[in-house]
Amino acid sequence: MNIRFYNARILTMDGGYDIIKGELWVSGNKIIYIGDGTDTDRIYESQPENIIKWDREIDAKNNLLMPGFKDAHTHTAMTFLRSYADDMPLSDWLNTQVFPKEALLTPEDIYILTKHGIMEYLTSGITAGFDMYMQMDAGAKAASECGFRYVLCGAINDFGGTVEDCERDYNKFNNMNELISYVYGFHAEYTTKMEIMEGLAALGKKYKAPIYMHNSETKSEVEGCIERWGKTPTKLFNDLGIYDYGGGGFHCVWMSEEDIDIFKQRKLYAVTNPASNTKLASGIAPIQTYMDKDINLAIGTDGAASNNCLDMFREMFLMTGLAKLREMDASAVSAEKVLKAATSGGALSMGLFDADVLKEGKLADIIMIDMHQPNMQPENNIVKNIVYSGSKQNVKMTMINGNILYEDMKFNIGVEPEDVYKQANDIIQRMIRG
Amino acid sequence: MNIRFYNARILTMDGGYDIIKGELWVSGNKIIYIGDGTDTDRIYESQPENIIKWDREIDAKNNLLMPGFKDAHTHTAMTFLRSYADDMPLSDWLNTQVFPKEALLTPEDIYILTKHGIMEYLTSGITAGFDMYMQMDAGAKAASECGFRYVLCGAINDFGGTVEDCERDYNKFNNMNELISYVYGFHAEYTTKMEIMEGLAALGKKYKAPIYMHNSETKSEVEGCIERWGKTPTKLFNDLGIYDYGGGGFHCVWMSEEDIDIFKQRKLYAVTNPASNTKLASGIAPIQTYMDKDINLAIGTDGAASNNCLDMFREMFLMTGLAKLREMDASAVSAEKVLKAATSGGALSMGLFDADVLKEGKLADIIMIDMHQPNMQPENNIVKNIVYSGSKQNVKMTMINGNILYEDMKFNIGVEPEDVYKQANDIIQRMIRG
């Protein structure tokens, strides 16, 4: 497909926050032109017969094209537990509600529930997810069919998976198709025995690959780790060589100064999950400190069970808002840096080095923000409008890999929304009936 | 207009959270029927010739009708300052950015900017605003023309207005038209001299009327009041007789135990503004304590300058989420009570005793929530879906006083959105140019 956007404003996020007025052209799964439209000869010249046959020419009507948001930590298929068991602390919630229900999930369930989650991502302009879940074949199939960019994160722990499985998955999913990839990971220190962590560290070394896990989500998690190993999770992982080739941690709420120094030194990603940490009362991550120390940042929703929605606008407001409360400083955590974490930061954290910014040659993972809405006006500062005032209502289009999967509130993912909703309800009802 | 909704689910909020499946009928500005459709004879019998001529019959497609949200503290016309001066503490922000710009506003500016704010309310299902601003004639004209339910709150302070003005406004706006009303109020203790506060207390007594003001928004506000008067703002207002006939306070972040007892005893409303308090780093209100003590609660956005948007979904998530963080308890502040504060609590706080719940004879201030969206599925708990997962994207229709003002993202308020946006941009640009 060749798609031409004209009358657009383009926030490329490529090295700054300037906005270009003009055109953006997509051919196949790549961006082939961004500019004011006066220098397109060079693009035509690269084409057979100097012609581009447009499949669609879209008048952007002065709306904003920008890189899609990246959900850098999520459990996509957990949509079935939305509003099912709320208002409980993390450990009770996991042990009495989440784990017993998850044990009943079939691969077919996960396939449907992943499609459900993907639909929700699209409504929020999320073009890729860094998904930690079971039954990875089911999730990868759902994402491939929908056309969603999907990075699987290893989820091995004491209750499922072996190190050998991880190596097999790494090679399988990284060679599956252009939408799917795989990054090594394990659930968390408190759910994973030393042997597995050491095995993963060895795999990371073998493939020179980054490794991720839940890290310092709650105070009690960190305290437990110190009790068990005499050190924080970050220090433990670092000492084990898990962070030798990068990676990072999900949540990163309760980090010591030494932990943060390790993140800095290893160029690790702190993936913050502000809505989930709020709703589970886990705490507020020290985002301003991370920014002061130039720690790499990305943002995740953590899935619909804990959050309870998959909405990057909520996460962005909370990332800066909670930091302002934590620091008691209204100037903490700038909107610009939040938007960077939500887009290019997320992409880089999950290894999507060509989906970070809008630029000729980069992947066409693009969203259109409807500026003709009251919450986007006046245009005193468009970046701040998006971060402080934006809402799903502003997502006019979500394009992934050159395909428009969501436009004017309609999905184009090869499945009827009502069928997905019906099946999602059936899954949880079947479990409740027992 | 006679409008019949069928195939609806109806969350009346009338004494509970049960959902009725069936029909809701509107005639003129009132709800005339709610039920399963089998007992409508009694309604027809009350009509001339036993007929109702429907202007519209709307298939709700199993979507949810519920009471509109009430924005119980806002400065509507401040839309022009959205994303203009962010990331500053309250006192600097007010003195160096807000007040100097506001001094340049003409009544015509406020008329346009109020329409802009009203459009944004409609996108979030907000059917009434408790608006504290200058140039009340301009705001009332804008609201009347749009069809928006608008409760003016007196905004007198040392920089503008006299007690006599307030009495005149009270009688004028409470007799203007069915959409407009007026409640006594003043800006805050720190901006208002004793003579004015005493004058308002006398007016409150004369009219047996409630009085509102900013109360205990910041720690330094409370400290300053104690320095000046030897007591907290709430104690001062109570001792002055300001709370003799009810009312309450906006923000109520930094309240003492004695303050809360006064609120309890006087049946006052604590109107919480969680997004604004977050963004300005003012603090987290003790909502769980208020709920434990059965304090009346309502929710406000505080306007687009501090927030930066007018979105009740954001406020609802923050009201419960921030309480969970404050109490370090994931079970703090239930979704049900938050929804009550956002609807009936707000209505009662601003004197809209017939716009609180959906019931035959009540005002037709109704919204339709689109349940056919991924973030509303599965339907494990619809109230929690709304509070924890809801978004402006779910607002399919906003009806005020029997008129549909917003439907499927289109406005019906007698003004072109683009004209409003252009004028809003012109206003702030004119000020910047000087």
Distance, in Å, from the CA atom of A349 to the CA atom of A354, rounded to the nearest integer, reads: 12
In terms of domains, do B92 and B201 share one? yes
Which of B84, B331, B395 has its CB closest to that of A88? B331
Closest by CA to A338, choosing from A356, A364, A312, is: A312
Q: Which domain holds residue B193?
A: 69-349
Distance, in Å, from the CA atom of B433 to the CA atom of B351, rounded to the nearest integer, reads: 41
Binning pLDDT at 50, 70 and 90, where does residue A153 land? very high
Rg, C-alpha atoms of chain A: 21
Q: Is A84 helix (H, G, I), strand (E, B) or coil?
A: coil
Binning pLDDT at 50, 70 and 90, where does residue A232 land? very high
What does the angle CA A118 – CA A119 – CA A125 come to, to the nearest 5 degrees? 85
Nearest CA in chain B to A379: B425
In terms of domains, do A139 and A181 share one? yes
In terms of domains, do A226 and A315 share one? yes
Which of B278, B372, B395 has its CB closest to that of A418? B372
* pLDDT at B34 (0 to 100): 98
Q: Is A291 helix (H, G, I), strand (E, B) or coil?
A: helix
Distance, in Å, from the CA atom of B402 to the CA atom of B4, rounded to the nearest integer, reads: 11
In terms of domains, do B342 and B329 share one? yes
Distance, in Å, from the CA atom of A351 to the CA atom of B108, rounded to the nearest integer, reads: 53
Which of A83, A321, A421 has its CB closest to that of B388? A83
| Percentage with pLDDT > 90 across chain B | 93
Q: At what angle do helices B194-207 and B163-173 cross, to 10 degrees?
A: 30
Residue type for A426, please?
D
In terms of domains, do B228 and B260 share one? yes
Residue B416 counted as domain residue: no
Q: Which residues contact B173 (CB under 8 A, 6 or more apart)?
A: B136, B140, B152, B180, B181, B182
User: What mean pLDDT comes out for the span B177-202?
Assistant: 98
- Write out chain B residues lying below 8 Å of A79, CB-based: 374, 377-378
Residue B424 counted as domain residue: no
Closest-CA distance, A256 to chain B, in angstroms, reads: 20
Residue B89 has pLDDT above 80, yes or no: no
Residue B419 counted as domain residue: no
Residue A332 counted as domain residue: yes
Counting the structural domains of chain B, the total is: 2
A123 phi-psi bin (left φ>0, alpha ψ -120 to 50, beta other): alpha
Residue A398 has pLDDT above 80, yes or no: yes
User: Mind listing the pLDDT tens digit for each residue in A104-123?
Assistant: 999 999 999 999 999 999 99
The answer to whether the peptide bond before residue A100 is cis (omega within 30 degrees of 0) is no
* pLDDT at B92 (0 to 100): 84
Residue B46 has pLDDT above 90, yes or no: no
Residue B359 counted as domain residue: no
Cβ atoms of A254 and B300 within 8 Å: the answer is: no
* pLDDT at B88 (0 to 100): 77
* pLDDT at A94 (0 to 100): 83
User: What mean pLDDT comes out for the span B399-412?
Assistant: 98
A120 touches chain B (CB under 8 A): yes
User: What mean pLDDT comes out for the span B69-97?
Assistant: 90
Residue A234 has pLDDT above 80, yes or no: yes
Asked which of A22-31, B57-66, B94-103, B354-363 is least confident by mean pLDDT, the reply is B94-103
* pLDDT at A10 (0 to 100): 98
User: Mind listing the pLDDT tens digit for each residue in A333-362?
Assistant: 999 999 999 999 999 999 999 999 999 999
* pLDDT at B257 (0 to 100): 98
Residue type for B254, please?
W
In A77-178, which ranges are continuous DSSP H helix? 90-92, 99-102, 107-123, 136-146, 163-173
The mean pLDDT of chain A is 96
Distance, in Å, from the CA atom of A47 to the CA atom of B413, rounded to the nearest integer, reads: 49
Closest-CA distance, A123 to chain B, in angstroms, reads: 8
In terms of domains, do A394 and A345 share one? no
Binning pLDDT at 50, 70 and 90, where does residue A89 land? confident
Query: CA dihedral in degrees (A313, A317, A323, A328; nearest 10)?
Result: -170
- Please count the other Cβ atoms lying within 10 Å of the Cβ belonging to residue B35: 17
User: What mean pLDDT comes out for the span B35-59?
Assistant: 94
User: What mean pLDDT comes out for the span A159-178?
Assistant: 97
Consecutive H or E run containing A425: helix A417-433
Distance, in Å, from the CA atom of B150 to the CA atom of B140, rounded to the nearest integer, reads: 7
Q: Please give the full DSSP string across B237-273, using - where no structure is assigned.
A: HHHTTTTTT-EEEEE--S--HHHHHHHHHHT-EEEE-
User: What mean pLDDT comes out for the span A396-412?
Assistant: 98
- Write out chain B residues lying below 8 Å of A88, CB-based: 330-331
Binning pLDDT at 50, 70 and 90, where does residue A21 land? very high
Nearest CA in chain A to B121: A374
User: Mind listing the pLDDT tens digit for each residue in A185-214?
Assistant: 999 999 999 999 999 999 999 999 999 999
Against a cut of 0.90, is the pTM above it?
yes
Q: Which residues contact A416 (CB under 8 A, 6 or more apart)?
A: none
Residue type for A98, please?
V
In terms of domains, do B245 and B174 share one? yes
Half-sphere exposure of A322 (CA within 13 A, CB side): 31
Distance, in Å, from the CA atom of B120 to the CA atom of A385, rounded to the nearest integer, reads: 13
Distance, in Å, from the CA atom of A32 to the CA atom of A58, rounded to the nearest integer, reads: 16
User: Mind listing the pLDDT tens digit for each residue in B304-340?
Assistant: 998 899 999 999 999 999 999 999 999 999 999 999 9
Taken in order B155, B158, B159, B163, the sign of the CA dihedral is: positive
* pLDDT at A86 (0 to 100): 83
Residue type for B63, please?
N
User: What mean pLDDT comes out for the span A275-285?
Assistant: 96
Interface predicted TM-score (ipTM): 0.97
User: What mean pLDDT comes out for the span A418-430?
Assistant: 97
In terms of Cβ atoms closer than 10 Å to its own Cβ (0-12, 13-18, 19+), residue A407 is: middle
Binning pLDDT at 50, 70 and 90, where does residue B90 land? confident
Distance, in Å, from the CA atom of A218 to the CA atom of B281, rounded to the nearest integer, reads: 23
Asked which of A90-94, A234-238, B309-313 is least confident by mean pLDDT, the reply is A90-94
In terms of domains, do A217 and A343 share one? yes
User: Mind listing the pLDDT tens digit for each residue in A123-132?
Assistant: 999 999 999 9
Closest by CA to B276, choosing from B214, B329, B224, is: B214
- Write out chain A residues lying below 8 Å of B369, CB-based: none
Cβ atoms of A113 and A79 within 8 Å: the answer is: yes
Which of A275, A331, A391 has its CB closest to that of B391? A391
B334 touches chain A (CB under 8 A): yes
Residue B316 counted as domain residue: yes
- Which of A62, A86, A96 to probe the B interface (max B CBs under 10 A)? A86
Residue B426 counted as domain residue: no
Closest-CA distance, B323 to chain A, in angstroms, reads: 9
Closest-CA distance, A321 to chain B, in angstroms, reads: 5
Binning pLDDT at 50, 70 and 90, where does residue A88 land? confident
- Write out chain A residues lying below 8 Å of B334, CB-based: 87
In terms of domains, do B338 and B381 share one? no
* pLDDT at A156 (0 to 100): 96
User: What mean pLDDT comes out for the span B147-167?
Assistant: 96
CATH code for the domain of B36: 2.30.40.10
Window 391-420 of B: residues touching A by CB (8 A cutoff) are 391-393, 395, 409, 417-418, 420
CATH code for the domain of B124: 3.20.20.140
Q: Is A177 helix (H, G, I), strand (E, B) or coil?
A: coil
Cα A177 versus chain centre, distance? 19
Q: Domain ends where: B322, B349, B376? A: B349
Closest-CA distance, B297 to chain A, in angstroms, reads: 20
Closest by CA to A244, choosing from A219, A228, A262, is: A262
Residue type for B271, please?
V
Q: How far apart are the first and last CA of chain B?
A: 47
Please name the residue that has the structure tokens 């007010």: B94
The pair phi, psi for residue B252, each rounded to 5°, is 50, 55
Residue A115 counted as domain residue: yes
In terms of Cβ atoms closer than 10 Å to its own Cβ (0-12, 13-18, 19+), residue B195 is: exposed
In terms of domains, do A137 and A227 share one? yes
CB contact under 8 A, B311 and A391: yes
* pLDDT at A49 (0 to 100): 87
Consecutive H or E run containing B65: strand B64-67
Binning pLDDT at 50, 70 and 90, where does residue B238 land? very high
In terms of domains, do A97 and A17 share one? no
In terms of domains, do A152 and A192 share one? yes
